Amino acid sequence: MGRDEFVFLLIGLKWTVALSVVAFICGCIAGLIVALARTSGITLLERITAGYIAVFQGTPLLMQLFVVYYGLALIGIRMDAWAAVSVGLTLHASAYLGEIWRGSIEAVPKGQTEAAKALALRYFSRMKDVVLPQAIRISLPATIGFLVQLIKGTSLASIVGFTELTRAGNIISNQIFQPITVFGIVGILYFLMCCPLTIYGAHLERKFAASTR
């Protein structure tokens, strides 16, 4: 494996990072909406979001990407693979993050909401200033855990036909017939992205466990 092949892998790596960042940021925004709707107290909204979460947690990410990819084309939205995969991963992330944050919003003691109500804070301010800051703190380890899962999930974009790290590895391995070397390096690159996050997540978890003891 020469220098050119490695550079090609690094270009793939760039797209993996871009895909992860876009999906995570958009997923956070959509996930927050899902989490707020899920805990809104409005039965209809709660039912709909519960169903939304159940569908995404009960089906493979690969199928979600396929359905979004072909479904968008079907309703007349022409998109390249990059945009379609971003949309698919964003929806996937919004469901998982919505469920994680629902848990942490519910984990904030009820007295906090009651106190905020007693101080005549409106819903918006109650959430922004009282509940969410605490909930986000609680959810951090799980959120980082999901980010790792999302980075690994971007590899499935290769099956839909988007050239990110795994597909770059596939192409190179078909060219130079050294699949073990190529996928070994691809694996190491993923590991270098995910491992620091995993360690940081475990560190936060220990820190919070110590502070609540």
Given a contact cutoff of 8 angstroms between Cβ atoms, the answer to whether 173 and 182 are in contact is yes
Q: Which of 32, 17, 7 is nearest to 97 (CA)?
A: 32
Helix runs in 58-131, H state only: 61-74, 81-107, 110-118, 123-125
Closest CA to 64 of 87, 37, 36, 40: 87
Q: At its nearest, how many Å lie between other proteins and the CB of residue 206?
A: 14
Contacts of residue 27, Cβ cutoff 8 Å, sequence gap at least 6: 89, 90, 92, 93, 94, 96, 97, 150
Closest by Cα among 192, 190, 102, 108 to 143 = 102
Residue 195 CB, shortest distance to other proteins, in Å, is: 5
Which residues contribute to the site for other proteins (CB under 8 A)? 55, 57-64, 66-67, 70-71, 73-76, 148, 152-156, 158-159, 166, 169-170, 173, 179-180, 183-184, 186-187, 190-191, 194-195, 198
| Whether the Cβ atoms of residue 85 and residue 160 lie closer than 8 Å to each other | yes
Q: How far is the CB of 205 from other proteins (least distance, A)?
A: 12
Nearest CB to other proteins, comparing residues 11 and 63:
63
Nearer to other proteins, 116 or 172 (CB): 172
Beta carbon of residue 180, minimum distance to other proteins (angstroms, whole number): 6
Smallest separation, CB 81 to other proteins (Å): 13
User: For other proteins, which is the closer residue by CB, 90 or 173?
Assistant: 173
Continuous segment of H or E residues that includes residue 108:
none
CA distances from 28 to 9, 25, 40, 115, 190 (A): 28, 5, 18, 27, 22
Smallest distance, other proteins to C-beta of residue 9, A: 12
Query: By C-beta, is 34 or 189 nearer to other proteins?
Result: 189
Six-digit token string for 78: 């022409």
Between 113 and 198, whose beta carbon lies closer to other proteins?
198
What distance in Å separates the CA atoms of residue 45 and residue 24, rounded to the nearest whole number? 24
C-beta closer to other proteins: residue 56 or 131: 56
